[in-house]
């Protein structure tokens, strides 16, 4: 069973990786300053594992993450710091930008 959706977009020398927990795709998250839409247009890529997503993120210029599974794994692998996470209700969201 797939754990996340993983989408990779290349633009020139940059790579954007968008990852959301599988069950969040298409939902609108409440509890932040504004509602957050986990849109299929942006997040729907290939179904995959958290490990595959972490590996893709290691090579990305920008990573955009939504969901407990992927954000907790990124914290555990030290790709993001827990203080860099924002929440929509109890759902975490984080971004990584490498310059």
Map out the domains of the chain as residue ranges: 4-97
Instruction: Say whether pLDDT at 1 is over 70.
Output: no
63 vs 1, 10, 27, 31, 73, CA distance in Å?
Answer: 23, 12, 20, 22, 13
The domain defined by 4-97 folds into 3.30.1860
Residues 6+ positions from 26 with CB-CB distance below 8 Å: 38, 39, 40
Angle at alpha carbon of residue 52, lines to 72 and 16, rounded to 5°: 85
pLDDT digits (tens, 9 = 90+) for 3-39: 999 999 999 999 999 999 999 999 999 987 889 999 9
| Per-residue pLDDT tens digits for 44-85 | 999 999 999 999 999 999 999 999 999 999 999 999 999 999
* pLDDT at position 8: 96
The position carrying tokens 């993983």 is: 6
């Amino acid at each position: 069973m797939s754990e996340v959706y993983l989408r990779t977009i290349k633009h020139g020398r940059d790579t954007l990786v968008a990852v959301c927990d599988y069950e969040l795709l298409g939902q609108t998250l409440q509890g932040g300053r504004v509602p957050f839409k986990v849109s299929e247009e942006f997040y729907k890529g290939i179904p995959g594992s958290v490990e595959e997503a972490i590996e893709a993120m290691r090579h990305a210029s920008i990573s955009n993450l939504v969901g407990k599974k992927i954000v907790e794994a990124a914290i555990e692998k030290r790709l993001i710091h827990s203080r860099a996470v924002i929440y929509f209700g109890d759902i975490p969201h984080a971004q990584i930008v490498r310059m």
